[in-house]
Amino acid sequence: MAGAVAVVFAALLLTRTVGNEYVFFAGYVVLQFVVLATAWNILGGYAGYVNFGSGAFFAAGAYTSVALIQAFEAPLLVQVLAAAAVAGAMGFLVGALTLRLRGIFFSIATVAIAVICETVVINWSFVGGARGIAIFQPEAPAAFVSYNRMLFVAMTCFAVLAVGLARFVESSWIGRGLRAIRDNEEAAESVGVPTLRLKLVAATLSGALMGVAGAPFPLYMSFIEPVSAFSLNYAVSALAMPLIGGTASWLGPVIGAVLLGTAQQVVTVTVSSELNVLVVGLVLVGFVVAAPQGILGLAQRLSGRGGASR
């Protein structure tokens, strides 16, 4: 709890002291990925169900915001709550349809949701459709130099919230049940673990947090259109970051998001953005093959502790 307050305070301090606007621009993206990766890990790392459609949940949050802004200029908090509700409902729906089946069908359903959502948005002119729509940032609150800095602090709060929720889930009976499901679902069911209910909880929570990550996106970019909102980069990054950091605990996605997010920003600015995407894919496959427990696992191995503790 104290750590959470300290992080938010540090973020606030940064907005007062640092002059370079780009720091907040890039920092927002990294924090956004912290939320996305943590959200993915709740279902993917803890329960073992792989979500390939993170972009859809992210964009669902973003477009909920857009719809609310277009309808009655809703404030940021309302946008975030609504985005969480919509994306969470989507997670619940996909889960209800497919979590009864084998994991791969859930994964394919997440690809389906991504395609279907993108099609719906492209055909919905109220939120801009295929052309996209420009969103005007309101005045920054008095304490901040620019609206982007306020968004930076907001995203810090969301990141802290997401990590807090992940820690709570991980150490509670929910997390224990999810770990049992990941290790051997049939055995878990036979001892009485309510597998479907736990999976649905994880899916809804995961979806909702992804929606929260996406909610401030239209304001941050001042413009939104379907191709970039539903970009495959979100799906791959949300998958790669926890796998790189380590899926077993809440710390893994944070490490992965900070490392990969920063690396992506550097590569995009210095080399090319297409090469950046290739690098993410290669790093993902490399880690999946060679370091299955991610960086956390490597650290554990190096420090001499056995891998048996989970």
105 is a site residue for other proteins (CB under 8 A): yes
271 is a site residue for other proteins (CB under 8 A): no
What span, in angstroms and rounded, lies between the C-alpha atoms of 250 and 259? 15
For residue 240, give every residue at least 6 positions away whose Cβ sits within 8 Å of its Cβ, in sequence order, or none.
Answer: 256, 260, 280, 281, 283, 284, 287
Q: Which is nearer to other proteins, 71 or 285 (CB)?
A: 285
Give the number of C-alpha atoms closer than 13 A to the C-alpha of residue 187, restricted to the C-beta side.
7
60 is a site residue for other proteins (CB under 8 A): no
236 is a site residue for other proteins (CB under 8 A): yes
Buried-state track 94-124, b at ≥16 Cβ within 10 A, e below 16 = bbeebbeeeeeebbebbebbbeebbeebbee
Residue 163 has φ and ψ, to the nearest 5°, of -65, -40
Are the C-beta atoms of residues 60 and 211 closer than 8 Å to each other?
yes
What span, in angstroms and rounded, lies between the C-alpha atoms of 165 and 301? 27
274 is a site residue for other proteins (CB under 8 A): yes
User: Hey, which residues between 114 and 133 contact other proteins (CB under 8 A)?
Assistant: 115-116, 119, 122-123
Q: Which is nearer to other proteins, 233 or 265 (CB)?
A: 233
What span, in angstroms and rounded, lies between the C-alpha atoms of 32 and 55? 12
281 is a site residue for other proteins (CB under 8 A): yes
Single out the residue of 23, 74, 97, 221 in contact with other proteins (rule: CB under 8 A).
97
User: Hey, which residues between 147 and 176 contact other proteins (CB under 8 A)?
Assistant: none
Instruction: Return the amino acid letter for 205.
Output: L
For residues 183 to 202, the per-residue mask of contacts with other proteins, x marking binding by CB under 8 A and - elsewhere, is xx------------------
Provide the binding-site residues for other proteins, judged by CB under 8 A.
44, 48-50, 52, 97-98, 101, 103-105, 107-109, 111-112, 115-116, 119, 122-123, 182-184, 232, 236, 239-240, 243, 247, 274-275, 277-278, 280-282, 284-285, 288-289, 292
